[in-house]
Amino acid sequence: MYIKSTRALSVLILNKKRCEVKDMSDELQQYPTEDIIRILSNLPGFLRESMMRSRLQELCTKDSKTQNDLIDLILGGLSSAEQESLKKVIRTWLGVVSRLESSEVSTMFSIFISRYEKGPSICESNYFAVLLEEYQSLEGDRRIILRDSLVEAALNQYRGRQIMLTLPEKVRSALEL
């Protein structure tokens, strides 16, 4: 399984090198999100982390329309991903995001806040429950970094305080807001 996963991921990397920036969403359409989640979850942690870091940093360099389109594609496929694979990938994602430059974290969270503002029902999805569970299992310093970055990104949004107040109680409680 590891060899198959590595080959599929190598194809994704090769595609990335040959494609222009705007083609990131084309890769996701070619490889459904649940397949990418499965492949990433089967990789060793250090490789999964390295790949996610480079893709997140690349995402932060895109224009806002491309960022939103890509996030919508990803979120659209998360509900069909296998639970244990999703847990591994989300845990890695949280760890990577907590170590990015503050401007990159702010960009990442701003995208998600905008997505939440358009559809608050995102907090009711099964992958959001996994996200919240994995967030709560992180070390205290990682949780604080992520929480503070999320609050900062929200407050930098138009109507940021109102957005924070609309978060479900379980989310505000987990974030200790």
| DSSP code for 23 | G
Beta carbons within 8 Å of 21's beta carbon, 6+ residues apart: 58, 61, 62, 66
Digit-by-digit pLDDT tens for the chain (177 residues) are 444 444 444 444 434 433 333 444 454 444 577 788 888 889 998 999 999 899 888 888 888 888 888 887 887 777 778 888 888 988 999 889 888 888 888 888 888 888 888 888 877 777 888 888 888 888 888 888 888 888 888 888 888 788 888 888 888 888 887
Please state, as a whole number, how many other Cβ atoms lie within 10 Å of the Cβ of residue 169.
Answer: 8
Measured at the alpha carbon of residue 73, what is the angle toward residues 75 and 127, in degrees to the nearest 5?
15
pLDDT value at residue 20: 37
Beta carbons within 8 Å of 166's beta carbon, 6+ residues apart: 120
The ranges assigned to domains in the chain are 2-174
- Distance CA(76)–CA(173), nearest Å, equals 26
- Distance CA(56)–CA(58), nearest Å, equals 5
* Tokens read off for 121: 């029902």
pTM: 0.75
- Distance CA(167)–CA(170), nearest Å, equals 8
pLDDT value at residue 47: 92
| CB distance 139 to 91 below 8 Å | no
The secondary structure element, H or E, covering residue 30 is helix 24-30
